[in-house]
Amino acid sequence: MSTLLINEAPLMIVPSLAVEIGLNEAVVLQQIHYWLTMSKHKIEGKKWVYNTYEDWQKQFPFWSISTIRRTFYSLEKSGIVISANWNALQLDKTKWYTINYGQLLKIEKRCEPSTAQSEPAEVSDQTRAGR
């Protein structure tokens, strides 16, 4: 058995989300959502998580800091992720993040397949023979 195949907690995404917002963005968004489900930090009625880009890189060791920064910026610019500084000391520039689930719902509606697309494609005998 290979040690490269799911012997640790995997990062999972929904493919249609990755198509809509980008692969990196979908991975980061899923990870933020995961941490929000466990967060005890509730501010202004929303749960928040915080990390520096260096701390995020520990969760995404396959990306550079600049890729992580660009990905978060993309999510913030799209309005899917909201960032703020809720630190006690204003000198602390650690960013806090939450998800704008309303904005995500709009994207979800765009992802919904039409009835024709949701039916499985039939595989002909010719296609089967070619496999």
pLDDT of residue 124: 53
Position 3 pLDDT exceeds 70 = no
Distance, C-alpha 111 to centroid of its chain: 15
pLDDT of residue 88: 85
What residue has token string 């999972």? 12
Look up the pTM and report it: 0.79
pLDDT range class, residue 115, cuts 50, 70, 90: very low
Mean pLDDT over 106-120 rounds to 65
pLDDT digits (tens, 9 = 90+) for 38-91: 999 999 999 999 999 999 999 999 999 999 999 999 999 999 999 999 988 878
Both tokens of 119, joined, read: 């039916």
The more confidently predicted of residues 117 and 103 is 103
Which H or E run includes 47? strand 46-47
Position 111 pLDDT exceeds 70 = yes
Name the average pLDDT for the chain: 86
Both tokens of 51, joined, read: 């990390």
Positive or negative torsion for Cα 27, 29, 34, 35: positive
pLDDT of residue 116: 42
